[in-house]
Amino acid sequence: MMKPFLILLSFIFLSCSREKKKQQKDVFIKDNTKSNKTNLLITENEIQSSTIVKKVDSITISKSSIWSTDCTADKFISIKTDINNMQFTVPGRFSMNSQLKKVDNNKYEFYFTDFPPIIPLPDEMQNWENLDNKKAVGYIQIIDESKITLTWFGFYNKKTKKNIQTENPFNKEHNVSANLIKCSE
């Protein structure tokens, strides 16, 4: 009599203690010019196995897809799953780790957390304490299933009270968004 009771109790305990695994999306930006590589990894806890699922009134896009300003260009974003942080490397400029924050339907700001020693930092970025990690470096907005906009602000320097490194990696312009189109899945 005690054995069936223990089995039942174990079953109840195990079923109550299970939690759903949070799945994540990555966005990976790459610059394949010669030996240089640019990487951007972004995460969010709203992924299902085959699609990125947003809340009501949000856009659904494939969980694994390639995005670029021009599908024949060397720079692109690849959206995948299973990575928690964002890494963005701009050859000849800097490499950063950052966090993604959802600010609206289909809109995500990213904030730097640190600079891995992949690429030497420019002089103006050597002292991290001067850079404000509470100010967004930029944001990504999903326009529809075939278009994403990347807006780049740069890093806010607390001493000079100005943004630095403000050139958008996709269009080489300041304070101008880059429209990325879906190239493949």
Query: pLDDT tens across 112-169, in order?
Result: 888 888 778 888 888 888 999 999 999 888 888 889 898 999 999 999 999 998 888 7
Residue-wise pLDDT for 59-105, tens only, equals 655 556 677 778 886 565 555 433 345 666 666 777 777 787 888 88
User: What pTM did the predictor assign?
Assistant: 0.59
- Residue 26 pLDDT greater than 50, yes or no: no
| 15 within domain boundaries | no
Query: Is 34 part of any domain?
Result: yes
**pLDDT score at 81:** 33
Is there a domain that residue 99 lies in? Answer: yes
Within a domain: 159: yes
Within a domain: 75: yes
Whether 125 and 115 have beta carbons less than 8 Å apart is answered as yes
pLDDT of residue 128: 83
**Residue 58 belongs to some domain of the structure:** yes
Q: Where are the beta strands (DSSP E) in the chain?
A: 25-31, 51-52, 61-62, 65-68, 75-81, 86-90, 94-104, 107-114, 138-144, 147-152, 155-157, 162-164, 178-184
User: What's the whole-number mean pLDDT along residues 19-46?
Assistant: 39
Residue 160 has a pLDDT of 94
pLDDT of residue 131: 93
Does the residue 61 lie in any domain? Answer: yes
Task: Say which residue, 12 or 103, is predicted with more confidence.
Answer: 103
pLDDT at residue 6 is higher than 70: no
- Give the count of domains, the chain: 1
Instruction: Report how far residue 74's alpha carbon sits from residue 33's, in angstroms, rounded to the nearest whole number.
Output: 6
Range of the domain at 57: 21-184
Residue 13 lies in a domain: no
Does residue 56 surpass a pLDDT of 50?
no
